[in-house]
Chain A
Amino acid sequence: MLSLSALHQKQGKSQLVKMGLMSAVTVLVSIFALGQGSSSNLDMWTTTQTILRDIRAFVGLPDTLRACGYFDGVAWNAGQTCTNAEDLQSQIIWRLRLPRVLMAILGGVALATAGALMQGCLGNPLVSPLTLGVASGASLGAALAIIVGFSLTTVGSLAIAGNAFVFSLIVVFIIIQLGRYRSVSAESYILVGIAITFIAGAIVSTLTYFATDAQLSQLAHWSFGSLARPNMVVVALVATSTFTLFPTAMKWSWDLNALSMGGDDFAVSTGVDPSSIRRNILILSALLTSLIIAFTGMIGFVGLAAPHMSRILIGNDYRKLLPASAICGAFLMLVADTIGRTLFAPVVIPVGIMLAVIGGPVFMYLLLQSKGVR
């Protein structure tokens, strides 16, 4: 019989293999997703080839491709320098499909990580990235930009997203201020989050009351959550921030384990300062959330479902749960978005809706399944 230590090591390895498989599947799904779309001559194989060719060309001959404006999200004049079919294909891939697929992955990673972090440090399985009111702040910012035309950011194309981001940062700032009270408990964070949600919701309702039909539909579209808006510049920005924030989350996984396993007193005796670590983790997850939601609109479900699915698959050890949630979130978003844009093509169903429609039943099934085993 193996010793306990050896068994533990073996178990750790099998969990790593599980995560490896999950990420492999996610990569396959994303390649498949790249081949899906209204342009029927762009299948999976052509798409991959085109991407590889363009990357090679970009590295070798930057000027030619830059002239085609692949990485310039704002202004591109079709037909000026890029007229042949290959260039058109490249355009479709680099401007439409790739940013969309990458944004799905990033959104899933960031929101699922944020959800897992928040559930752990608040010790509450009902918490999702929307609980702290960050998304409501973003939604208020978007509503102000759309209806009143008021935006704190002046960049034309980013007026809505930028304003949403700034307003969600205001909520993050409120959380920081709240965290300065030493005695603030996990419940107080949740209750303040709910209060912020109500306040922001009331203001947004007031604004919509005076809005025109066009503005209303724009706001409704924003609140569905969509991956159509981000371009490669946004994707690069979000990717950089997400992957700088994620290692910090990983670094805190021991502290999260202590906090989620036994609460505050247990954490103290494990060498963790619960109030400061809780504040830091909430700020981190609020940043991750606002980063995504500002550009995509309301996407909430993945932040609740992906962590719970990973808990069922991997367990509650945050050292493994965080990467597993990230992968699971990316997978969910990709699948939901790909189905959403192919099911009734060329009509695209927003990812926020598809997530709930597809993810909801799967989530419920997994939950009931795992309870049954118990």
Chain B
Amino acid sequence: MNTLLSVENLSFSWPNREVLQNLNIEIKSNELVSILGVNGAGKTTLLKCVNRILKPSAGRVSLLAQDLSTMQTIDVAQRIAYVPQSVSTNFPMEVYDVVLLGRRPYISWFVRDEDREIVSESLEFLDLEDFAFRRYDRLSGGERQRVVLAKALAQKPNLYLLDEPTSDLDLKNQVVIMKKMRELVKDTDRNSSALIAIHDIDIAARFSDKILLMHDGGIMAYGTPEEVLTPENIAEVFGVEAEILNKSGSLRIMIHGALEKETR
């Protein structure tokens, strides 16, 4: 499989604080990669650097062997779709029109039949048909997240960047979102991958091909869930004592307690 995204020596710093130090990441096509790490480890910053919302202080990000920093905003939007943790607005549109914004990178001004087709498909894929003409602000958190995901889908990107898409959601919606993401990424016609910042280790272990474990702005470990989610790594990054059970290929992570308390 070919390399989709490659991040080389990426660093980012705010005027008085270094956030990312010298990251090197490679993501292949049709891969779902989860980023794990504590608050402030640099997960969101990494996503924003990849999507050029933030400008890296050093390093190179390239997608399908093309340097992103040389591309127009609109060309980046045709290749990368970013889903923030939550989208709130003072001026809510109807769901169909929100998803239609995903076609903005392709539309000159008038909406073509092809665009409507793609929007309808995206809505159907995420089971949003019944909400299509409801206003965004009248939906629940889970429905809203699916709408923003449908908008990302309509962009037909090669790379999905999701920033804690499940942290405001209930258990069922968390699983629904991750299942849909996996289905998308595994669709070989689409040739796309996903990079997802997430807090829930269990969900990450269950749905990801690879896990990127971040610690203090660097990469602690990067590999399959089995390789990365070891009791040692979890103790180091999260400061908790964990036990890993491998039940016929699916990982279960049991958290026993915070380490400080144990040592006290």
**A binding-site residues for B, Cβ under 8 Å:** 3-5, 7-9, 11, 119-120, 123-125, 251, 254-255, 257-258, 260-266, 268-273, 311, 315-317, 374
Contacts and interface: CB of A to CB of B under 8 A. Distances in A.
Interface in B121-163: 123-124, 129, 132-133, 136, 138, 148, 151-152, 155, 161
B93 A8 contact: no
Nearest to A3: B120
Residues of B in contact with A, size category: 35 or more
Interface in B235-252: none
A316 B92 contact: yes
A255 B77 CA distance: 13
B59 interface: no
A3 B133 CA distance: 12
Contacts of A9: 116
Contact of B92 (A8, A11, A261, A265): A261
Nearest to B75: A271
B230 interface: no
B53 A265 contact: yes
Nearest to A268: B53
A4 B53 contact: no
Contacts of B117: 5
Interface of B: 48, 51-53, 73-74, 76-78, 80-82, 84, 87, 89-94, 96-98, 101-102, 104-105, 107, 109, 113, 116-117, 119-120, 123-124, 129, 132-133, 136, 138, 148, 151-152, 155, 161
B52 A272 contact: no
A7 B102 CA distance: 19
Nearest to B44: A265
12 contacts: A4-B132, A8-B116, A254-B101, A254-B107, A255-B104, A257-B93, A258-B104, A269-B53, A270-B102, A271-B74, A271-B76, A271-B105
Contact of B93 (A7, A261, A271, A273): A261
B96 A8 contact: yes
B120 A5 contact: yes
Contact of B123 (A4, A119, A265, A271): A4
Nearest to A9: B116
Contact of B91 (A125, A264, A265): A125
Contacts of B155: 269-270
Contact of A261 (B98, B107, B129): B98
A271 B84 contact: no
A119 B91 contact: yes
Contacts of B102: 270
Nearest to A1: B129
Contacts of A263: 87, 89
A373 to B, nearest CB: 10
Contacts of B48: 265
A260 B113 CA distance: 25
Contacts of A317: 93-94, 97
A222 B176 CA distance: 61
Given A254-B101, A265-B53, A315-B97, 20 more contacts: A4-B96, A4-B116, A4-B120, A5-B116, A8-B96, A8-B133, A123-B90, A257-B101, A262-B148, A264-B53, A265-B82, A265-B84, A266-B84, A268-B51, A268-B82, A270-B101, A270-B104, A271-B74, A271-B78, A315-B93
A374 B92 CA distance: 13
A123 B89 contact: yes
A257 B97 contact: yes
Contacts of A251: 109
The 7 A-B pairs with the shortest beta carbon distances in the complex, nearest first, are A271-B77, A269-B82, A5-B116, A271-B74, A271-B105, A4-B120, A316-B91
Contacts of A374: 138
A299 B51 CA distance: 43
A266 B133 contact: no
Given A268-B51, A269-B81, A125 B90 contact: yes
Nearest to B152: A269
Contacts of A11: 133
Contacts of A261: 87, 89, 91-93, 98, 101, 136
Contacts of A257: 93, 97, 101, 104
A202 B80 CA distance: 50
A132 to B, nearest CB: 18
Nearest to B76: A271
